[in-house]
Amino acid sequence: MSAINRYLLTTILFSLSCSALAELTIKEGYVRGLPPGQPNTAAFMRLVNTADQDVVITGAASNGAELAEVHSHKHHHGMMSMEKVDQLTVPANGELVLAPGKYHLMLINLTRPLRESDEVLIRLFNDEEELTRATLPVRSVLNER
């Protein structure tokens, strides 16, 4: 293979992998800041998928917690409970909102106190690779919309 062909192939492969990464974007995200001593908190965001295929999220990670899980909220006989969700589908050319009382990203066993205006890295994965990441601000629960 000539040098120019090798260059072209590299460029094509690189742009393919970049477009795969850019399909899913985290918008308007924030982490709920709670009073000190709370072991867990939640992150909320809008997930935007600009691809022609659904994007399936099967895992998450954060630099602010030992564990990050997608949860749903359930109401049962007037009681509210949370449940781990194994996969979350963001529809093709669509979006999915993680908001208080709905889906959320649970940050379990916080590794440091999270104060207003701190920043937390959130990463979302499928079974093979990282789909997207974003640095989200901490917003005190008192200032939540």
Q: Match 């963001």 to its residue by tokens.
A: 90
CB of 16 to Cu ion, least distance (A): 35
Q: CB nearer to Cu ion: give 35 or 52.
A: 35
As beta bridge partners, residue 130 has: 125
Q: State the nearest-atom distance from the C-beta of 1 to Cu ion, in Å.
A: 51
CA dist list (Å): 94 to 11, 12, 63, 102, 144: 29, 26, 28, 17, 25
Burial 19-56 (b: 16+ CB within 10 A, else e): eeeebbbbeebbbbbbeeeeeebbbbbebbbebeeebe
Per rule CB under 5 A, is residue 32 in the interface with Cu ion? no
**Position 141 contacts Cu ion (CB under 5 A):** no
Residues 64-103 that bind Cu ion (CB under 5 A): 71, 82
Q: How far is the CB of 62 from Cu ion (least distance, A)?
A: 13
Minimum distance of Cu ion from residue 101's CB (angstroms): 11
10 or 81, CB closer to Cu ion?
81
Q: Are 125 and 60 in contact (CB under 8 A)?
A: yes
List of residues contacting Cu ion (CB under 5 A):
71, 82, 106
